[in-house]
Amino acid sequence: MSWPATEPLARLRRSVALRLAAWLAVLLVAVGAGVLGGAYALLASSLRGRDRAAAAAELAELAEAYASRGTAGLRAEAAAQRILPKGSADIRYAAPDGARTVLAEPAAGAEDAPTESVSRRLADGSTLTVGVRGGEREDVLERFRGVAAAVLVPVALLALLGALVLTERALAPLRGLIETMRAIESGALGSRVAARGTGDELDELGVLFNRMLDKVASLVAALRGALDDAAHDLRTPLTRLRGGAELALRGGGAEEMREALADGVEECDEILAMLDGLMDVSEAQAGAMTLKLEDVDAGSLLADAVELYGPAAEEKGLRLEADAPAGLSLRADRARLRRAVANLVDNAVKYGTRGGAIRLSAAREGGEVVVRVRDDGPGIAPEDLPRVWDRLFRGDRSRSERGLGLGLSLVKAVAEAHGGGVAAESRPGEGALFVLRLPAA
């Protein structure tokens, strides 16, 4: 995609990176200004303290001169100004009778400078005040303000540039995420966010996003497979349904019409059963199957299956045997689990050998309840054994039996929806064993 020349600038202005950089720059500048302000206040306080100390020292010298030599000594000492710089002292004397005398004044131009002064009441009741004009102090502080202003401007620019670089690097994973989403939107469904391996939150976001894409891809593949399977396997019953209707129309008799309608109903039931099975399997494989979990007794579960398929097994000359210890329970959706076990028993009844037996058993193994269904049928070919759990798969030997090829795939889907699993073992001519593993209660 090509962007207009002004688009990158417009995107930069409204980007999160610029806003974050601006806030970070403002924060850095505020911190810098605070540091400089604190340094300025500390320097000003230090200079004022220095001036007060100098004024106090000068006052001590003046008081000593006054005590030893009187007013003449005081004037001589004030003129000498041994401690305070010339032109900065403001020395005043107040006699006991209230008369005031200015012994020294600041030089011209220093009148407006702030004064730090100290006073002392002498033994004869007079008062001596010494002040120092802060012209030199103000010069230092003014130079400091100038330097601070000169430093703060480039610091602000560098802070903005550094913050922009940092935020751009920090938000690089988000740009990768956006680019991946755009690629997917344009049709590149295999695009994924590049892993950085930093282990931070943004890297974890990319990993989770990739997992979500993989999940969506698997769901789309499952849906596509379900649609392909349905389109393939629905063709046969629909063809039979159409053929029966055509024959009935050609025959024209009431009996032919009745038979065609009965066949049509049977074919429709088969189609509906196939669609329901496909929906259940797809729902389970997508992780969207809703389970109503409760404690289910394994013994009663097997007993229900024996009661349901007992007549069909007896008709085929098969014995149904169930064995489960008392009190063995598991946490499951009763209706869905009953259907799964029924599918295993139905499969065993279909392919069991007359005079043989179908053995159902349940046992606790570790934290699982293991349900086994064994038959004495013809077994499963080695090349077909890994595929018996696939949707709509029917081996060559099963073509003679009526079915949709969804029973075992539904068993697997229900087991995995419960957090369990399935397995199958078989050798040609030696029957088959199907194992259903589910979490114990």
Which residues are bridge partners to 90 per DSSP? 131
β-pairing, 357-365 vs 319-323, is: parallel
Contacts of 374 (CB under 8 A, 6+ apart): 348, 358, 359, 361, 431, 432, 433, 434
Residue 89 has a CB neighbour count (10 Å cut-off) of 23
The helix (run of H) or strand (run of E) holding residue 316 is: none
β-pairing, 89-94 vs 127-133, is: antiparallel
Reading the block at residue 190, the tokens are: 């295999």
Q: Is 50 exposed, middle or buried (0-12, 13-18, 19+ CB in 10 A)?
A: middle
**Local confidence pLDDT in tens for the 441 residues of the chain:** 333 444 444 454 456 667 777 787 888 888 888 888 899 899 888 988 888 888 888 888 888 888 888 888 888 888 887 777 776 788 888 988 888 888 888 776 555 556 788 899 988 888 999 888 777 778 888 888 888 888 888 888 888 788 777 777 777 777 777 788 888 778 777 778 777 777 777 777 778 888 888 877 776 776 676 667 666 667 777 777 777 777 777 766 677 777 777 878 877 877 776 676 666 666 666 666 677 888 888 888 899 888 888 888 888 888 888 888 888 888 888 888 888 888 888 888 888 888 888 999 999 988 889 999 998 888 888 888 877 877 656 554 443 444 445 678 788 888 888 888 888 888 888 888 999 898 887
Query: CA 415 to CA 332: how far, in whole Å?
Result: 9
What pLDDT is recorded for position 397?
A: 47
Helices marked H in 186-333 — which ranges?
A: 201-251, 254-285, 298-315
| Architecture, CATH, for domain 293-439 | 2-Layer Sandwich (3.30)
| Architecture, CATH, for domain 201-285 | Orthogonal Bundle (1.10)
In order of 109, 133, 134, 140, the CA distances from 144 in angstroms are 21, 19, 15, 6
SS3 288: coil
Torsion of CA 414, 418, 419, 424, to 10 degrees: -40
What pLDDT is recorded for position 392?
A: 58
Residue intervals in the chain for CATH 3.30.565.10: 293-439
| Greatest extent of the chain over all pairs of C-alpha atoms, in Å | 154
Helix, strand, coil: what percent of the chain each, to 5?
A: 60, 15, 25
Residue 372 has a CB neighbour count (10 Å cut-off) of 18
What pLDDT is recorded for position 373?
A: 92
Amino acid at 293: L
Reading the block at residue 148, the tokens are: 């601070």
Q: Where would I find the beta strands (DSSP E) of 14-112?
A: 89-94, 100-104
Residues listed for the chain: 441
CA 379 and chain centroid, separation: 49
Q: Is 231 exposed, middle or buried (0-12, 13-18, 19+ CB in 10 A)?
A: exposed
Contacts of 14 (CB under 8 A, 6+ apart): none
Residue intervals in the chain for CATH 1.10.287: 201-285
What pLDDT is recorded for position 224?
A: 74
Cut 0.75: pTM above it: no
Amino acid at 181: M
Query: CA 81 to CA 103: how far, in whole Å?
Result: 11
What pLDDT is recorded for position 9?
A: 40
Reading the block at residue 8, the tokens are: 């990158």
The answer to whether the beta carbons of residues 328 and 298 sit under 8 Å apart is yes
